[in-house]
Chain A
Amino acid sequence: MIWRYILKRILWMVPFLFGVSIVAFLLIQAPPGDYLTTYIAKLGESNEVLDQASIENLRARFGLDQPLYVQYFKWVSRLLVGDFGMSFEWRQPVSDLVWGRMGLTLCLSMATLLFTWAVAFPIGVYSAVRKYSFGDYLATTLGFIGLATPNFLLALILMYIGVVHFGADVGGLFSNEYKNAPWSMAKVWDLAKHLWLPVVVLGTSATASLIRIMRANLLDELNKPYVDTARAKGLSEFWLIMKYPVRVALNPFVSTIGWVLPNLVSGAVVTAIVLSLPTAGPLMLQALLAQDMYLAGAFVLMLSSLTVIGMLLSDILLVLLDPRVKYD
């Protein structure tokens, strides 16, 4: 049953992604001009002028002189064999550029997700069970501050504190000596030392909102008759809350996976720039600004695929977690 459901969902993704690729391509083409226009303008800034012939020459080389649908089908047919094309700006295959950054982005996002859960779960449960206690008010206040503070501002504040008071090396994910070094235990340790700051910065607002969601959901569940039933069974207060209402209130936690994956790419671009993190966000921004067609297209497409995959994952988990959710 469940396998059929998963298979069906995956099959549905095919036409969906096809549609997304069209929209992505059109979106990238939407601004006036193309990569060459940007390129010529850039050259113009340094007083270099290209003559018409070489422009035409370049245009033909990049395939930009062909009609839109030809360009699109060329792009898509190469995508099918895993070739994302060349980045105009970097003069490198897009896949090299993207995958190099995705690994670190994945690592950072997972760490952020775990941080979010680890902090939000106990605080959310505590806040609901001890409603209107001092701890609840404290968590609520901090939660709202966390929600209201822009990430990049938090990043600046934490960087300031880190540098001035602790003399820490902030910014980036690696110290200089490891930046281009091959992977080793020391490099992993270095990464861990740098990771905490972006994790806290990126995780704060998600944590705050998850605390609120957990609290509200659990409050709804705490007064349900089945909790009374469990209590009348003689279960201890801690276990009965963990086993019954918390279990039911857990659904939003699972749903968060759905939006963590697309965040891998597009999330926190400003924060990533402020912290100079070598993640996917800043690269995507740059690609879009430069109208670097294939690179930007790869990012938009990846963003959509990850959204779809994330939703699929959270839906599957939801089905496994809650027997009431139907999947046929």
Chain B
Amino acid sequence: MPQTHMATEASSRPILSVENLNVGFNTRKGMFDVLHGVSFELHRGKTTAIVGESGSGKSVTARAILNMVPRPGQINGGRVLFRPSKGSETDTTALDPRGKAIREIRGGKIGMIFQEPMSSLSPVHTIGNQIIEAIRLHRDCTKAEAREIARGMLAQVEIPKPEKALDQYAFEFSGGMRQRAMIAMALSCRPDVLIADEPTTALDVTTQAEILDLMRKLQVELDMAIMFITHDMGVVAEIADEVVVMEKGHVVETGETGPLFAHQQHPYTKRLLGAVKRLEEPATAKVRPAADAPEILRVEDLKLKFEKREGFLQRVTDVTRAVDGVSFSLREGEALGIVGESGSGKTTVGRCIARVYDPEGVVDYRGSDLVKAGRAEMQSYRQQIRMIFQDPFASLNPRMTVKQLIAEPLVVNGVASGQELEDRVAKLLTDVGLAPEMMERYPHAFSGGQRQRIVVARAIALEPKLVIADEPTSALDVSIRTQVLDLLLRLQAEMGLSFIFISHDMAVIRYFCDRVAVMYQGRIVEIGETEQIITDPQHPYTKALLSSVPIADPALRGTRQRHRYMGEA
């Protein structure tokens, strides 16, 4: 029958093909290209993952498809052929970027969701207002009908009490709920294609698992093509049918997920996957602490509560127990990981130990209680206990040179000056794998990984005994992540450092830590040897957490039962 024949032909053709797409940025020094002839295809009902590290051009590609490359960027070659289910084939790059034709495609036929659920929704409009607007832009219906559709969409993305949610604002939602609302908005007009730009990167693993499940379910229901941009190979293995690997604006490898994970062709893909694989086991270079190593830190019944005060008399109306009775000990040369979701109190524990906050309980550092230490006493301990923070872009003052940044703790504590200071900085830079000649440069001249090395150099400048590292690798690409971890391992071995390593990433903890403490709602629910906890978790929360971690092996997809820990009632 001719009709069936046509249908199969239509479904076998890609719904969207990107052909030799070139995007350049017009700068004062002339045009420089960020995309060099990118080509790939999206198919109905399939998920195509676009993988690459920061700066590979993934997000620009996504925006170029909708012809909304931000200025000063411009599309200067190639085309994007879109074949919607209704209507004729269009080259979206040929349309006027402000014209009616492209606006009908945006949101109507190609939906898009973004990375930051915190800032991708307007802070001053209700969720309902924004979804209804999207619906009424593309569908001919009344406000009441649109509201009904919006309510249905919110129910479909499993937001509880959708009727109420319509009148709420984005800031009243958690990150996961916001991302659900974003998905509801992007899908409200039943698009043929959904472009998801790192939709789960900013979310906790458990929430990420739920969002991935949701997207998969909706894809089947709506039979749409998904273009899933991510840097996380684990997520790719979970969700993608096809993979497009991008590096520096080039597509270096394309293929189906299974075969590509089994046999990568391009060295970049190999490196990317290798970095992930390495993180699936403990580091080989790790030096375990001696069995009889003395205790350096003992935390007993650490408590910290934040009080919300209200009214004329400033009465306490609400108490958040951020840390609620945490106890553990740390030996010299040992690395203890603290893992948990956002809001579990893991960061607060680190800050309590460094006395950024004033907690209750005992923090016994080599026989003296830090909780009771006065200002002057704390000063000397702060030379021995240093912190490393998550964001290497925000934790370096952009107006100071690298030399000033690293020298600062040395100068403040009067350790060195003049030529000696310069020599120390040079040595520190060499220690962290940077060239001493770089010391006159400013932080903006360095990449994320290099900046984190500078942060590490600053942290070890005073030759501390204990380093509290708060998500030190979360803002970095995977390949750089292992480099920074290896650096920390080497320094640990050389200097006999002890680490408290705070992270939400189980893989990083496994690579780096001897022992791990799992935190949930301000308490440690489980603590023990890292390998033992990962292979044989006892507490239901740890099990739930581990079940949510995506594994970079497409063969294991669907073999695990995911569940969410609901906590004690």
Task: Enumerate chain A interface residues (CB-CB to B < 8 A).
Answer: 223-226, 228-237, 243-244, 247-248, 321-324, 328
Contacts and interface: CB of A to CB of B under 8 A. Distances in A.
Closest 9 CB pairs of A and B: A234-B107, A233-B107, A234-B106, A232-B112, A234-B103, A225-B120, A225-B119, A226-B122, A233-B134
**Which of A229, A232, A323: most chain B Cβ within 10 A?**
A232
Given A225-B114, A225-B116, A228-B114, A234 B122 contact: no
Given A229-B182, A236-B98, A237-B98, A244 B138 contact: no
A93 to B, nearest CB: 38
Interface in B124-161: 124-125, 130, 133-134, 137-138
B124 A248 contact: yes
Contacts of B104: 234
A226 B106 contact: no
Contacts of B398: none
B124 A229 contact: no
A328 B309 CA distance: 11
B173 interface: no
Contact of A322 (B124, B133, B185): B124
Contact of A229 (B120, B169, B310): B120
B121 interface: yes
B68 interface: yes
B98 A229 contact: no
A226 B171 CA distance: 13
Contacts of B108: 234
B137 A234 contact: yes
Contact of B68 (A232, A244, A247, A248): A232
Given A229-B114, A229-B182, A235 B122 contact: no
A234 B120 contact: no
21 contacts: A225-B119, A226-B122, A228-B120, A229-B114, A229-B121, A229-B130, A230-B122, A232-B68, A232-B107, A232-B112, A232-B186, A233-B133, A234-B104, A234-B134, A234-B138, A235-B133, A244-B122, A247-B122, A247-B125, A321-B124, A324-B169
A229 B185 CA distance: 10
A159 to B, nearest CB: 44
B55 interface: no
Contacts of A236: 98, 103
Interface string B290-325: 000000000000000000001000000000000000
Given A231-B68, A233-B106, A248-B124, A224 B310 contact: no
B98 A228 contact: no
Contacts of B68: 228, 231-232
Nearest to B195: A232
B66 to A, nearest CB: 6
Given A228-B120, A230-B122, A321-B124, 8 more contacts: A225-B114, A229-B120, A229-B122, A232-B186, A235-B137, A236-B98, A248-B122, A323-B124
A193 to B, nearest CB: 41
Contacts of A248: 122-124
Contact of A247 (B116, B124, B182): B124
Contacts of A233: 106-107, 133-134, 137, 185
Contact of A231 (B106, B121, B133): B106
Contact size range, B: 20 to 34
Interface in B155-195: 169, 171, 182, 185-186
A324 B172 CA distance: 9
B185 A226 contact: no
Contacts of B226: none
Contacts of A243: 125
Q: Which of B70, B114, B124, B185 is the most central at the interface, judged by chain A CB atoms within 10 Å of its CB?
A: B124
B119 A232 contact: no
Contacts of B112: 229, 232
B60 to A, nearest CB: 12
A248 B103 CA distance: 23
A44 B59 CA distance: 84
B105 interface: yes
A236 B112 CA distance: 16
B475 to A, nearest CB: 17
Contacts of A229: 112, 114, 120-122, 130, 182, 185
B57 to A, nearest CB: 17
Nearest to B100: A236
Contacts of B107: 232-235
Contacts of A226: 119-123
A235 B133 CA distance: 9
Nearest to B121: A226
A226 to B, nearest CB: 5
A94 to B, nearest CB: 35
A247 B122 CA distance: 10
A225 B179 CA distance: 13
A230 B103 CA distance: 11
A324 B118 CA distance: 13
B44 to A, nearest CB: 20
Contacts of B103: 234-236
B71 to A, nearest CB: 9
A231 B67 CA distance: 10
Nearest to B311: A328
Contacts of B116: 225
Contacts of A223: 70
Interface in B69-105: 70, 98, 103-105
Contact of A232 (B106, B115, B123, B171): B106
A15 to B, nearest CB: 12
Nearest to A325: B124
Given A229-B182, A323-B169, A324-B171, A234 B119 contact: no
Contacts of A244: 122, 125
A223 B121 CA distance: 13
A185 to B, nearest CB: 43
Contact of A328 (B114, B182, B310): B310
Nearest to B110: A232
A244 B130 CA distance: 10
A225 B116 CA distance: 8
Nearest to B109: A234
Contacts of B111: 232
A232 B112 CA distance: 6
Contacts of A247: 122, 124-125
A230 B104 CA distance: 13
A244 to B, nearest CB: 5
B100 to A, nearest CB: 8
